[in-house]
Structure 1
Amino acid sequence: MKRLLFVLVGILVPLVVSAQENQYLIGESDLLEISVWGEDTLSRQVTVRSDGYISLPLAGDLKAADKTPSQLQSDIETAIAKYVKEPHCAVIVLEPRSKRVYVEGQVNQPGEYILDRGMVITQIISRAGGFNEWADTDDIVILRREKGEQIRIKVNYPKIVKGKHENIPIHPGDTIIVP
């Protein structure tokens, strides 16, 4: 039974990691599940620290930020290889906390959204269900933190849609306000 479980985990976990690695770079505050086969004491959930590192027994501090789950998996296996014979582990992003954006105001589904790499304002507004009937699409504001200060970016959505203005890239932590 135990062998069957390891075979199933060995098949399923790489699929999860493969799906994640094409789309996701780990960031600060992300919650990760680290599973080391046959070493329950090393398996755990960890949060990526503000310096971009995680701490694991035997492995010490490892840089996690700006790596895919597959890259971090390889780093962990290398780090614990001195102590664990033929280590195999999996890294799963349980909560992608570093890639959140917020859409508030006159949209159909205001709230918190997970930001995919390369998203622009038209895509995040679409994710929020589009504008409701009271939206003032000429005066949208993006609140963004840059170098420790909050900046306001004014957005004229109709001009973006007509191709008269560039579609604005959205950054992790942005708040989009639709008056």
Structure 2
Amino acid sequence: MRFLFGLMAALMLAATAQAQSYSLEVGDVLAIEVLEDASLNRNALVLPDGNITFPFAGSIRAAGRSVQQVQQSLVQALAPNFATAPTVFVSINQLSNPPTSGSGITVYVIGEVNDPGEKELSRGTTFLQGLASVGGFTNFAATKRIQLRRTDPSTGQEAVYTFNLRAAGDGAKISGNATLLDGDVILVPERRLFE
């Protein structure tokens, strides 16, 4: 019996050591919890530029760093917003997916959604169908100005299309319910005060 407990303890220590030495990559999804303010708890995607965004902290470098380093950066960035330094927990919720050679497309969903990250979708998926794959919006979502960002591979130019999902919910027709393409980014920004 002692042998089993010893073996389990050794395995747990090895897993913890491996997690501490893991360098975060683009596409990883982090679960972030702030004990002092549960409304800030969310998942954060490591964006293509290697950063995560978090309310009251802004943009934090994540790619190439450990979970502990990101956690320390978040504590430092959030500290001015609290009377004492906040208690922040960061863990890996989902590892980035290796590229697949299927017939689907990869779309990135970032911002104020419940399930941000890399989404593998079928070809022909529309913008609204893509939004349906994110598990809903957070309380901070600005649904009047959701963006579809698309980069033209031949020129490198990025086009930004803005959609008012709230108007669509009230019965308005969404003009240009675009068909998503491989590499599209859907950004649900944080709403402003009184928005």
Return the TM-score normalized by structure 2: 0.41
Return the TM-score normalized by structure 1: 0.44
